[in-house]
Structure 1
Amino acid sequence: MAGTVVAATVLGLFLPTFLADPYLVTVLVRGLTLGLAGLAVGLLNQQLGLVSFGIGAFFGLSCYAFSILTTRFGWGPTAAAAVALLGVIALAALLGAVVVRVKALSFVMVTLAIAQAFFVAAGLAGLKDLTGGDDGLLVEFSGELAGLRQSDLLDPESAWPLVWTVVVVVVALTAVMVRSRFGTRLRAIKQNEERMRYSGFDPYRDKILVFVVSAAIAAVAGVLQALTQGLASPDILGFHLSGNALVAALIGGSATVIGPMVGGVVFAFGQSALSDSGNLQFFVGLSLVVVVVILPGGAVPATIRWTRSAARRVKDRLL
């Protein structure tokens, strides 16, 4: 695992040199940011069988918190990022103590309601001086984050090493958690929560913890959004972002930690190519039908199955 993480980090740092067009790096950064939000959705689905439509709330709150602290109050980017992440984690712990008690269908509706509540709050006229209202809030700050100034972070090629390193670290830590005893307990809770309770475990505590981890991943993506896009807008708080994150998780495959990242990149490049056609939503719906029918479980799990099947056929012929 450690060797894979180091190799992926080093090789990924040189990726922009192979992309002739800087715009491709911009789309790639957006895709990875969406992929992190998709990973947050996929983690809950993979481990607990729950679908969250509230990921946009944690994504957007961290983005807004960072933007408000730096732009309105003059905080440095490092302190603002830390407070934004810690604030979202604390809020997720409070909300998780309530929402993880409900059943799967109710969980979908409750998380959607939470996201929509924050979406409406961001556009209130009374908070316009703080949030920018429906127009959103342009991020402005002085100082450096990881040796990068704001002008560097808004340049995708300059910001790429930071973005890639953060993505690799988050994905690696998520993979470790999924393969740990804690991850095994979560999957057991997904299969039979009552049996786990009677076996002496505390499903309630574990469900809150994974809910907080999912929110933290979304919060990291939200801070990256503020750093690399320089804008916090209300649409990232509502169903729009949460829906796109879910689509990314479904396309790539929520059963793996890599799947949502692949799905996010595919979605971003598809959005870039088809946005001018006026038929983006049609192609999104069509792609979901294709994934469900032809690639059940997502593109990454299907690729793994095909690769293993081909390897077995080659081995059988050689032997």
Structure 2
Amino acid sequence: MKWMEFSIHTTQEAVEPISNLLHESGASGVVIEDSADVYQTWDGAEDEIIELNDRDYPEEGVILKSYFPASSFVAETVEEMKQSINDLLLHNIDLGRNEVSLTEIEEEDWAHAWKQYYKPVNITETLTIVPTWEHYTPGSKDEKVIELDPGMAFGTGTHPTTVLCLQVLEQELTGGEHVIDVGTGSGVLAIGAAKFNASKVLALDLDQTAVDVARENAAYNHTGDCITVKQNNLLDHENGQADVVVANILADIIIRLAPDAWKSLKPEGIFIASGIISGKKKEVIEVLQEEGFEIKETKDMEDWAAVTAVKKDR
């Protein structure tokens, strides 16, 4: 399917009225690229903020982008929008440059363009993650390979937080363990646990899309027999106890999860917590210790940390 991208360079003042006009005209979403965002100090959790690249934003003002199905009527729609936007001048709204551009885009480009940057990556001493569409020959008979297609789920397996989890799983699993993967995403940690000889893996995610993708990836890697994928909110209503619980999620959620992680582990069980921005590592460690965990190890990569904790008697 082809789409028409309608782009207009305008002012902060005009963002709301122009956005309303675009929605009323049938736009399938509006993207706002505001030059002020690059230099703004954002409130919120550190691990929910990413660094913005000023090359992706205009030097001044705002660029609004909206998308319309390409059809024989799109030209008429665009002309009507231009007129409606110009009419905002009658209400003393500063339109700034008011420069409009149109670009035809193939929907397939959005869905697949990112794949050219996703290549096989050696994650641990023995594990390599390979996109399902890439040909790869293992370097040795001992090398383990996860073939992964993230689809619409979160997780290519190459982010530092995921790498840290897989490294700890490789280190801690000796074979035959029961593992729970909380917030499984594409299923990479669950599959990794199975590759490291866990006998039983429960993969949980609240997002049904992630559940479907993780289940497909587990089957593709011939690990479906030992991995059960289920839709669930964190560890809610999970009454069993595992040898290992791994959670690669935000630090604030790990803090909330700590009591349920303790309950879901056997004595001396291992809790692997990742997705922790470095600035929150101390807070997470303190909460885990208060809950009855003994910190066994911390690993750091770039600005991220993973904490390995052992369940001890209170």
Pair in the same fold by TM > 0.5 = no
The structure whose RCO (Cα within 8 Å, separation 6+) is larger is: 1
- Which has the larger helix fraction? 1
- Which has the larger strand fraction? 2
Q: What TM-score range do you get, normalising by the shorter chain?
A: under 0.3
Q: Which protein shows a greater Rg? A: 2
TM-score (norm 2): 0.21
